[in-house]
A and B are shown apart, each in its own frame.
Chain A
Amino acid sequence: MKKPVVKLEFQDNKGSGSSRRRFIKMSSLAFAGSTLLYACSEDDDFNPGMEPEPEPDPDPEVFDLGSGDLGILNYAYALEQLEAAFYTAVRSGAYYAGAPAEEQELFDDLYNHEVIHREFFRTAIGAATADTPEAMLPDLEFDLEGAGIDIDSRESVLATAMLLEDTGVSAYNGAGDRIELADYLVIAGKIVSVEARHASAIRSLLNVNSADFAGDDVIDDNGLDPAADPADIYSAVVDLNVVATPFTANNLPAPQHES
């Protein structure tokens, strides 16, 4: 497995107790004067999405997810690449090899679904960027070992699966209100409920005969699942230290409505 090409370090933001404190900076990248890797671009409301706006690029070598709907598609594609890579690795590990048939079948299904999602985005984004192929997120490399994920351990595999599926649900829910084209919203809706079905199944496997399948740890008093900002998902995923290919999310669209 390839070693990480980026080292990550925390950058404290003057004692603020918020998650901003934990904003990550990729130290090997030169972001002159900028500590934030992410900023909502407010001026792309009329960008139909398929034309990435010209940006002052701090480092042309580093891919940025882009703006508008294309940015959201690339964002989803990044998450699906991560999930698919994880389940691909799981199926080559000792836990899977020795797992009961029911659990093997579960991970076969999760692998199938995430590979299908990834390939769907690869194809859809490829078509949308036919004239601007440089705007499509490249194949990312992942370093599960470097992130402390042990595919031979049931505990590590299930905990990671839960984290990824919970993250996926929250990410898609938070992306919905940033999507311009109804077709893409419907696609995101078709996928997020499958991610939620996964999260439930993994959670139920971790603690059968409990309420964890739709647990109070994620669902609020109104019975609502989380809907996370891409900025928070981005920093959380970077925080995992699992993505070995640097990319930025500096231009993703703002939500239509603050909730």
Chain B
Amino acid sequence: MSIIKMLNEFSSENLMNKKSSRRDMFGTLSSFGKKAAIAAVPFGLASKSTKATAATSMFFDHVGPLQLALTLEYLEAEFYLKALESGVLEGGSRSETAFMQISKHESAHVDFLIAALAEDSIDSPTFDFTAGGAFDPFNEGDTPMETSRAQLLVLAQAFEDTGVRAYKGQAGALMGTPYLEPALQIHSVEAKHASEIRRIRGLKGWISGSERGDGMPAVTQDVYTGEEVTSQAGIDLVGYNYGNSPIVGDVTAAVTQAFDEPMTGETASAIASLFIVNES
């Protein structure tokens, strides 16, 4: 059983389906710890410590979620650094300005998570941002520059929207740990990034239904599937009578925009895996 599969068991989707008190949560998390102790780290990455699990059993619940987060941050951090090095974006453009600011944050998130994980930290995977030749975002082939430029923004949107959903999906597993609050503080920064990249691409800053948006290739649909939720905590917000505060325009679109949905660790890792070179 992979750790990602186990993360899945504790994803918020599952938590939403049962009314668990915090005490139940602790019970759940401790059984999680036992199972996780015998699991491999995600993506077959080598842990920096071979005896990490024993040493951290008390707080083990945070390790899997934070390792997933670190993997996603490694992906983002390297992507933005390489994008800026490639010179594909026009100097002084809104895209370049955004990439520079986002790059700073993603690199900081990597450092922060390495420090938080301490001996449970993991090394960066090897990334292939062409996804096996499907993209040429750094214009290393003979792709027209305009195409590479558009692909940089496509990938940035996919990574940021994935980040928002992935952190959200791990929040439940971090409950009761000192890592919940910083994870939330990273989560909202990813959402700010996503909004700006989407707006640069001519989209709204928020997600309507499960639409990936104009110009996003079909391969990115996994990032958005599951965003179409119209009931929250059992309350049907589309059929709701808004009385003196009528919704402007399409109610279903508005309701789905108003709530971002979590993503399971399994989905997040599957998306990241598209860009990870399997070295084993």
Contacts and interface: CB of A to CB of B under 8 A. Distances in A.
A2 interface: no
B20 interface: yes
Interface in B236-280: 237, 240, 242, 245, 247-249, 254-255, 257-262
Contacts of A238: none
Given A115-B242, A201-B195, A256 B176 contact: yes
Nearest to B12: A186
Contacts of B50: none
Interface string B167-189: 01001100111101110111111
Given A112-B258, A213-B98, A224 B196 contact: no
Interface string B45-87: 0000000000000000000000000000000000000000000
A226 interface: yes
What class of interface size applies to chain A in its complex with B?
35 or more
Interface stretch (B35-43, B145-153, B198-206): B198-206
A196 B188 contact: yes
A124 to B, nearest CB: 6
Contact of B206 (A197, A227, A256): A197
Contacts of A225: 185-186, 188-189, 192
B97 interface: yes
Nearest to B178: A257
B225 interface: no
A176 B257 contact: no
A215 B191 CA distance: 13
B163 to A, nearest CB: 10
B215 to A, nearest CB: 18
Nearest to B10: A182
Interface string A99-118: 00000000011011101111
Contacts of A199: 192
B219 interface: no
Contacts of B177: 257
Interface of A: prevailing SS: helix
B178 A211 contact: no
Interface residues of B, number: 69
Contact of A222 (B108, B194, B196, B260): B108
Contacts of A208: 94
B212 interface: no
B105 A189 contact: no
A227 B260 contact: no
B101 interface: yes
Contacts of A222: 108-109, 111-112, 182
Contact of B12 (A108, A189, A191, A226): A189
Contact of B205 (A200, A219, A221): A200
Contacts of B20: 181-183
B89 interface: no
B235 interface: yes
A214 interface: yes
B73 to A, nearest CB: 9
Interface of A: 48, 84, 88, 108-109, 111-113, 115-120, 123-124, 169, 172-174, 176-177, 179-183, 185-187, 189-201, 204, 208-211, 213-215, 219, 221-227, 255-257, 259
- A-B pairs, top 10 by smallest CB distance, nearest first, are A223-B108, A196-B191, A200-B195, A223-B105, A211-B101, A193-B191, A224-B185, A112-B254, A197-B195, A200-B192
Given A186-B15, A225-B186, A225-B189, 4 more contacts: A116-B237, A185-B175, A189-B184, A200-B192
21 contacts: A48-B21, A112-B258, A116-B247, A120-B235, A182-B22, A187-B233, A189-B12, A189-B171, A189-B187, A190-B260, A190-B262, A191-B258, A192-B191, A194-B258, A197-B191, A197-B192, A208-B94, A209-B97, A214-B192, A223-B109, A259-B182
